[in-house]
Amino acid sequence: MITFFAALVILIVGYFVYGKIVEKIFAPTDKATPAIANPDGVDFVPISTGKAFLIQLLNIAGLGPIFGAISGAMWGPSVYIWIVFGTLLAGAVHDFMSGMLSERNGGASISEVTGKYLGPVMHNVMRIFSVVLLVMVGVVFMVGPAGLLARLTPEWLDVKVWTVIILLYYFLATLLPIDKIIGRVYPLFGILLILMAIGIAIGTIIHSGERPLMEFTFKNLYPGTIDSATGQVTGVRPIWPLMFITVACGAISGFHATQSPIVSRCIKSEREGRKIFYGAMVAEGVIALIWAAAAVAFFWNKDGTGTGLSALKAIGGGNSNSVYDMCVALLGKIGGPIALLGVIVCPITSGDTAFRGARMTIFDWFKLDEKKIKIRLSVAVPLLLIGYAISFVNYSVIWRYFSWSNQTLAMIVLWASAVYFATNYGSNPNRCWIAAIPATFMSAVSITYLLYAPECINLGARGATGLTISYVGGVIVAFVFLAIFLLTAYKNPAKSLERQNAVNIDPRAAE
């Protein structure tokens, strides 16, 4: 229990200490934000700091800090380290910079922002990559809650029926002005989300006598398979890079970068950025920490035979079944369903803005007018239909591809942030390291996973040799990326800045 509370304290203190450092390095100004300078009543709508924080939190806190954190718990309490320090040093920096760089470029979508700072090739790659990721996110956050709702309602309201109902809500949230649905209901949902996490934390502490909170260990506790004849354990999956990818939104998430522009178009001052963007990510880190700690405590040796976390592995890690079992067991027949409502709200309120973000990305790409309802319909309807078609693919497969593409996008956004810091602050390029160091780290994570994972190149099938090749390859590519950054931006900022200044990505510039 000491480890859990220590991790919680570090997250909270980190927000005030490191968050303040990041804000000081970025140096916010009093220049009018896009919402103040160019309100349009659809996407550019000024809202209060509190509302903006809750909308940002619900935009980013989908299934990642719940399903991802529970799945990450299969490796044991070592997941706490990644959630805490990944959140403070990488995830919150990533979210803050994606929001503020969007704000400083007129509320541009993240594909346009990364294109400006990383060049025209990456610009087009990111446009496609962002739309694909956002549709996948929308699907993940549509099927997950549909499964939970199906367990709480009569049999005829099955997963397919709930998927269609959620899809219809997504249609309205994607199409209507941000203050008509999102701005009105998200603050209430945000409170529910926070209360749900607090409820799970309290329930875990109350039941700590029978299900004690585990203290921290670096040991890999992923449950393998024991050979009855030899006693040899096989199938233990490595912490690096799999846990770092699996936790997803609970520590850092490229998906967040696609959501931050939605709120960057609504903030009234740059000085609100730390509270909204950095703060929302820290809040999500707290939620992920609670669910990870609760999962380790709940599933460890559940059958009393010393099987470790095999019960969590058997149920499939983080999914609607494991969440349902935890909520009901920890909070009872009344508190459980109430907590489940928070779990259901989380993904739905991220899925709707995922499709909205995809629509905004396409609008910025082709310079379409968001004020015209027919044009919004012509983009929103096909996106949602594609999402519905993908929903029939196996959920675990979608989640694995989402997890990798999610962290890869985070890597790209951090590199764009590093370029911005290295080139836009005169003779002081060293501001860049708050983004360049986590960008290098995430590059190693992403490339190692790409080489190792079965859904990618699958070097893991070669055993220890394949794992070693993946490790070495990931580190080498990460340092190659760092060298490219040092040569093109850090050592030659003038040329990079000249190219940036030649690009205007303000979505309102064409009007």
Residue 31 pLDDT > 50: yes
Residue 178 pLDDT > 70: no
Rounded to whole angstroms, the Cα distance separating 164 from 155 reads: 16
Single out the residue of 418, 466, 468, 467 nearest to residue 442, CA to CA: 418
Q: Sort 6 into a burial class: Cβ within 10 Å, 0-12 / 13-18 / 19+.
A: middle
What single-letter amino acid sits at 83? I
Q: Which long-range contacts (CB under 8 A, 24 or more apart) does 499-504 make?
A: 499/119, 500/116, 500/117, 500/423, 500/424, 503/115, 503/116
pTM for the model stands at: 0.90
Rounded to whole angstroms, the Cα distance separating 274 from 24 reads: 10
Q: What is the mean pLDDT of residues 53-81?
A: 89
Residue 489 pLDDT > 90: yes
Query: Could you report the per-residue pLDDT of 389-403, keeping only the tens digit for each?
Result: 887 877 666 767 777
Q: What is the mean pLDDT of residues 395-419?
A: 85
Contact yes or no for 110/413 (Cβ under 8 A):
yes
Report pLDDT for 447: 97
Q: Picking from 76-90, 198-212, 326-340, 414-428, which range would have the lowest pLDDT averaged per residue?
A: 326-340
Task: pLDDT band for 304, please (50, 70, 90 cuts).
Answer: very low
Q: How far is CA 320 from the centre of its chain?
A: 18
Contact yes or no for 312/70 (Cβ under 8 A):
yes
Q: Sort 425 into a burial class: Cβ within 10 Å, 0-12 / 13-18 / 19+.
A: middle
Backbone angles phi, psi at 233, to 5 degrees: -100, 130
Report pLDDT for 302: 56
Token pair for residue 452?
Answer: 């190792």
Report pLDDT for 496: 94
Q: What is the mean pLDDT of residues 107-126?
A: 92
Contact yes or no for 346/193 (Cβ under 8 A):
yes
Backbone angles phi, psi at 225, to 5 degrees: -110, 125
Query: Could you report the per-residue pLDDT of 221-261, keeping only the tens digit for each?
Result: 998 876 666 667 678 899 999 999 999 889 999 989 988 99
Query: Could you report the per-residue pLDDT of 118-127, keeping only the tens digit for each?
Result: 999 988 888 8
**Average pLDDT over the chain, rounded to whole?**
88
Residue 303 pLDDT > 60: no
Report pLDDT for 171: 87
- Reported as half-sphere exposure (CB side, CA atoms, 13 A), residue 14 has a value of 25
Query: Could you report the per-residue pLDDT of 367-382, keeping only the tens digit for each?
Result: 887 778 888 889 988 9
Residue 89 pLDDT > 90: yes
Q: Picking from 32-46, 72-86, 285-299, which range would have the lowest pLDDT averaged per residue?
A: 32-46
% pLDDT > 90, the chain: 53
Report pLDDT for 461: 93
Report pLDDT for 301: 76
Q: Which long-range contacts (CB under 8 A, 24 or more apart) does 306-311 make?
A: 307/223, 308/221, 308/223, 309/73, 309/74, 309/76, 309/221, 309/222, 309/223, 310/223
Task: pLDDT band for 510, please (50, 70, 90 cuts).
Answer: low
Report pLDDT for 481: 98
Single out the residue of 425, 423, 474, 443 nearest to residue 118, CA to CA: 423
Report pLDDT for 94: 98
* DSSP helix/strand/coil, 225: strand
% pLDDT > 70, the chain: 93
Q: How far is CA 294 from the centre of its chain?
A: 20
For the ranges 178-192, 229-243, 291-305, 437-451, the maximum mean pLDDT occurs at 437-451
Residue 274 pLDDT > 70: yes
Report pLDDT for 399: 65
Report pLDDT for 255: 87
Rounded to whole angstroms, the Cα distance separating 338 from 341 reads: 5
Residues paired with 225 in a beta bridge: 234
Task: pLDDT band for 17, please (50, 70, 90 cuts).
Answer: very high
Helix (H), strand (E) at residue 347 = helix 320-366
Q: What is the mean pLDDT of residues 255-268?
A: 92
Residue 8 pLDDT > 60: yes
